[in-house]
Chain A
Amino acid sequence: MRRNQHRWIYLAMGLSVTVPFLFRLTFPMPISEPVQKTFHQVELLAEENRQSKRKKVALLVADWEPATMAEINPQVTALLHHFMSRDIPFAILGFRPTGPGLAQELAEKAAQDWNKEYGTAWSNWGYKTQMDTTIQSMLSDFYTVIREDIEGTPIQNVPVMARFKGMEDIGLVAEFTGSSGLLQPWVEFVHAELRTPIVHGCTGVMESPVYPLLDSGQIQGFMGGLSGAAQYEQLVEKPGKGAEGMAAQSLAHLLVIGLILAANVKEGVSWLRRKLWSR
């Protein structure tokens, strides 16, 4: 038993993350303040666009990779439903090679529910390298850096971008990543110079460094991990993979807590035994 201990742990973990999907259990999530703020920021942009003739564009920065898509994809899907339900035009851009492709896939899926199409509802600027310099150059002269979309169409010829002049027409930056350091340049260059609101989506383990940025007002909202996605899905009333996954995550967390407690009880008992034996 002792030798095969890790196998039993692996089996328990395997069951705890798969069985809940068979029963499709969902639980209502309490909405946390950072997620509520993200939702509010999108609503503000929608309101601003309603009152102005020139619609501002939301920029979806797709910096995540397949490894983290279990957590990030549901967040992005929920946000895309929000954009589309409020007729907010958006653009996709990524500094990780896989990001723009993954975001495009999600946008195409979400668009089916809202009868939207690529080109008229959103544009994809594709993958760019050298994040810091690219963002700085976008601020100085946007069209030097972003010339055409992923289909090779010049940006000005994509209908949704027809009235787009430059970075000042971006009403919201929504940055999604599972890696560290990719949010910082948007805060340092775009928010600092233009005061563009920034919202962020990240994996659960990457949440902790984001709190100081939210507190200082350098970002306006964020959602962390699957829990953030489930909360946003509730806000936009589009339950999806976030809500579905929370049951599995709940069970997995409870298992980890149980294992920690069990290990410590075992340690305590053997310590007590050693003490009694030595007497």
Chain B
Amino acid sequence: MRRWIITFFTFVAGLFYILEFVLPSKTSTGRALHAAKPYVGEAIMVIGAFAVGLGVIGVCRHHLRKVMLRQKGWYNSVALLASMFAMATFKIWEKYDPPELARRLHDLLFLDMYNQLTVTVFSLLAFYVASAAYRAFRVRTVEAGLMMITAIVVMLGQIPLGDRFAKFLQLPWTFTEARLWVMSVINMAGQRVILLGAYVGSLAFGIRVLLGLNKDTLLEKNP
């Protein structure tokens, strides 16, 4: 039964957007579908909001069980739940009854902690990239050699010193020009191939979802 309900709603929702796009707005059906579009959009947003609620319930169930049974790393779950509820509480408090304290607590959590932590984690990438470049970028094949040369050209083209270096070497082109050529010729050809393949794949996947042939979207296990 559940399978049929999900398939039915998926099919109807998909068909709505296909027909709305395909049917000319001059026809009465096309006009009606076009007029209904903002309301269907709103309904999708409401369903999306429910999904957030379900997500919160799921996270709480998973981590509360971990804490109660004192499973490995349970203290991380405590930190997660405490941060989640603190953030939600202060944001709601700030929105509906904004005293200075609520705003400051929200700013402390969001601007001074969350933002800074995300920036810190992301900035660590520079260190890992440098270390990985040293340890992993070894030229053992012709392809790896080509890749290394391309990477160096692109990196030198990205920085102002690159062009000075090209001038110093008396090259007939600048690294900026070479980088633009790599990105807009070699890279673009590759990207188009990937994009074309991905879109054909997503079209096929869309049809499978629409017709209820994809077991993942039906919450069933694939064989």
B156 is contacted by which of A14, A211, A257 (Cβ under 8 Å)? A257
For A227, what are the chain B residues with a Cβ–Cβ distance below 8 Å? 158-159
Q: Are A9 and B131 in contact (CB under 8 A)?
A: yes
Chain B's closest residue to A227 (CB) is: B158
- Asked if A67 contacts B122 (CB within 8 A), the reply is yes
Are the CB atoms of A66 and B192 closer together than 8 Å?
no
* A32 pairs with B176, CB closer than 8 A: yes
Chain A residues in 8 Å Cβ range of B114: 66
Inter-chain contact B38/A211, CB cutoff 8 Å: no
Most A C-beta atoms less than 10 A away, residue of B38, B39, B116: B38
Q: Is A47 an interface residue (CB 8 A)?
A: no
By secondary structure, the A interface counts as: helix
- Cβ-defined contact, B119 with A130, below 8 A: no
CB-defined contacts of B191 to chain A, threshold 8 Å: 208-209, 211-212
List the count of A-B residue pairs having beta carbons below 8 Å apart.
139
Q: What is the total number of residues of chain A having a CB less than 8 Å from a CB of chain B?
A: 55
Interchain CB contact under 8 A, B160 and A28: yes
Contacts of B163 in A (CB 8 A): 30
Contact of B38 among A28, A29, A144 (CB under 8 A): A144
Q: Is the CB of A66 within 8 A of B118?
A: yes
Contact B42 A212 (CB under 8 A): no
A140 close to chain B: CB less than 8 A: yes
Q: Are A17 and B126 in contact (CB under 8 A)?
A: yes
Report if B59 contacts A (CB, 8 A): no
Closest-by-CB residue of A relative to B123 is: A70
- Contact of A215 with B180 in the complex, beta carbons under 8 Å: no
Contact for B37 among A136, A256, A264, CB less than 8 A: A136
What are the interface flags for B134-151 relative to A under an 8 Å C-beta threshold, 1 for contact and 0 otherwise?
A: 110111000000001001
Q: Which of A26-83 contact B (CB under 8 A)?
A: 27-30, 32-33, 65-70
| Complex CA distance for A207 and B183, rounded to whole angstroms | 9
The reply to whether the CB of A134 lies closer than 8 angstroms to some CB of chain B is yes
B59-115 at interface with A (beta carbon < 8 Å): 114-115
Answer whether residue A110 sits at the interface, using C-beta atoms and an 8 A cutoff.
Answer: no
In the assembly, what is the distance between CA of A134 and CA of B139, in Å?
A: 48
At the interface, yes or no: A19 with Cβ under 8 Å from chain B?
no
Question: Taking the complex as formed, is A129 at the interface, i.e. its CB lies under 8 A from any CB of chain B?
Answer: yes
Q: Which residues between 214 and 263 of chain A lie within 8 Å of chain B, taking CB atoms? A: 215, 225, 227, 246, 249-250, 252-257, 259-260, 262-263
Interfacial residues of chain A within 98-146, with CB under 8 A of chain B in the complex: 98, 129-130, 133-134, 136-137, 140-141, 144-145
Q: Is the CB of A264 within 8 A of B155?
A: no
Residue interface mask B27-68, A partner, CB < 8 A = 1 = 000000011011111101100110000000000000000000
Evaluate whether A253 and B180 lie within 8 angstroms (CB atoms) in the complex, with A246-B160, A263-B134 already known.
no
Q: Which residues of B contact A (CB under 8 A)?
A: 34-35, 37-42, 44-45, 48-49, 114-116, 118-119, 121-123, 126-127, 129-131, 133-135, 137-139, 148, 151-152, 155-156, 158-161, 163, 174, 176, 180, 183-184, 187-188, 191-192, 195
Other 5 A-B pairs with CB < 8 A, given A134-B41, A208-B187, A263-B137: A9-B134, A68-B122, A208-B191, A256-B129, A257-B152
Instruction: Provide a sorted-by-A list of 20 A–B residue pairs whose CB atoms are within 8 angstroms.
Output: A9-B127, A27-B160, A27-B161, A30-B160, A30-B163, A30-B174, A30-B176, A65-B118, A67-B122, A129-B48, A134-B41, A134-B45, A144-B38, A204-B158, A211-B183, A215-B184, A257-B152, A260-B148, A260-B151, A263-B134
